[in-house]
Amino acid sequence: MDRDSSRLSDSSRPSRREVLRGTLAAGASLSLAGALGSCGAHGDVRRVRGGDQWRQFQGATLNFISENTAPTAAIAANVRPFTDLTGINVKIVTLELNAVTQRVALDLASGGAEYQVIYADPYQILAPYRKGLVDLRTLQADPSLPKVPGGVGDFIPTQLDAAGRFVDPHAIYTLPYDAPTMIWHYRRDLFDQYHARMAHDLGFDPTPGGDRTWEEYFKIAQWFNKNARSDVAYGTGHQARQHDSLMNDFSNVLWSYGGDYFDNGKQVGRLGAQDPGPCRLDSAAAIAAARFYDRLLAIADPASRTWDWDGLGAAMRAGRLAMCPNWHEYAATNEQVIPGKVDYAPLPKGPAGTANMYGGTGVGINANTRPHERGAAWLFIVWATAPATQLADLKSKAGGGTPTRTSVYQMPEVRAAEKRPSSMPNMLTAPAVTQAWRPDRIGLRPKIPMWNECDTAIFTQLSRMLTGEASPEEAMRSTKKRIDRIVARGWVA
């Protein structure tokens, strides 16, 4: 999820997903990148034709590079079933996302394939380096290889497009692997305790949900500030540090007000664009969103301006906040620390509807791989994203994540886990996130090759606005000018 260069200066801090698992390195055979050899440098792997499709590359070794995510933690802790099935060994490297991007870029540029399997972030890797990834349709169509169980149609459609495609609506560069999404986290115990008083004072039902508006969210937060200080310090908190997290937090409001970063924003977010055209942050809707966001942060916990998603999650667990927008994957940690006290809903709506930022990523295959290496890598990504593996990830003590397959959400034991007591606490968010992934509700930042620079421009100017150095109008117009210059330079991969 870290989409910006600011994380380079924070390399000593645990990432959002690392915090979610608590101990990433404890349960798994995770290897440092320097310890990995390049299989591609020693020729192709051996292939045994005929017989079991899953055993044809036995004896091969694959290197998988990934951000330290929930599903990777779970797979690393229990990769043995794949090795037993295929005879293929897997070495897993987990790094902070900027480091993953740098190593992948170097590997692709070298013409080699030190990493055959790649966690291909849509913005840092897929959009700028898609030519370095295999179009997976060629492997799905190969009769000598196993097919994706349930077909690619079993992946949630908005996620398949957002995480797996770029510009071409047919090519598939990755299979959806994780699906972090921003939703409304709220203290159910406090909302129950104060429901009648809030409803009387505010004149509306304060129960969180997609029918609540951002203005109502503001009023609820303000009510808690004034009336419930004995139970909670602040009504709301936000991930408003000068960081990628600030862009994510603001974008939910921007889209709900009808603003966007570029024309055809849903298309640019879902399939991507090489040249998205002029930035539209100077529109009336975008400026209205910025004004509201500035006003909302003025009544939020003041520490919000120092928090990314990790700091915000910790504040919620510490009982400091009545509610906040944050990534749904924090449900598992919430249940560990304050069990039964937090519930979840889609984010509030604005004049143009509701939007919930999606931050998922897919797994792809290095196009520099040799033919048999490529086949072995295909076996791994098919297995890693299969319904049975996603179910095992949900149950894992080392990881978790949430499924990217429609069929997994339909399994009786998974549906049962949507209610407490839950053996899969991330499923407590399922009613909210399944609504958030609808095409009209999913929030998709622009999938363009130069997004990283644009992201930095956005959170830099937003931070100036929140500290009073710039008005909302000035912040939006300055960001537009900066993004237009970035886009005009183009991108050469």
Mean pLDDT for the chain overall: 90
Is omega for the bond preceding 128 within 30 degrees of 0, making it cis? no
Q: Which region among 19-23, 141-145, 382-386 has the lowest average model confidence (pLDDT)? A: 19-23
Out of 36-50, 347-361, 462-476, pick the least confident: 36-50
DSSP H or E run through 72: helix 70-77
Q: Can you give the pLDDT at residue 70?
A: 84
- 11-25, 140-154, 215-229: which range is least confident on average? 11-25
Residue 293 has pLDDT above 90, yes or no: yes
Q: What band does 9 get if pLDDT is binned at 50, 70 and 90?
A: very low
Q: What pTM does this model have?
A: 0.89
CB within 8 Å of 317: residues ≥ 6 apart = 333, 334, 337, 338
Q: Which CATH number fits domain 5-180+359-410: 3.40.50.970, 1.20.1090.10, 3.40.50.800, 3.40.190.10?
A: 3.40.190.10
pLDDT of the residue at 91? 98
The answer to whether domain 5-180+359-410 and domain 182-357+443-489 are alike in fold is yes
As beta bridge partners, residue 175 has 363
Q: How many angstroms separate the CA atoms of 278 and 481, rounded?
A: 9
Nearest CA to 462 out of 299, 286, 330 is that of: 286
pLDDT band per the 50, 70, 90 thresholds, residue 492: low
Are 88 and 60 in contact by the 8 Å Cβ rule? The answer is yes
Of residues 6 and 96, the one with the higher pLDDT is 96
CATH fold, domain 182-357+443-489, is: D-Maltodextrin-Binding Protein; domain 2 (3.40.190)
- What pLDDT is stored for residue 31 in this prediction? 34
Domain layout of the chain by residue ranges: 5-180+359-410, 182-357+443-489
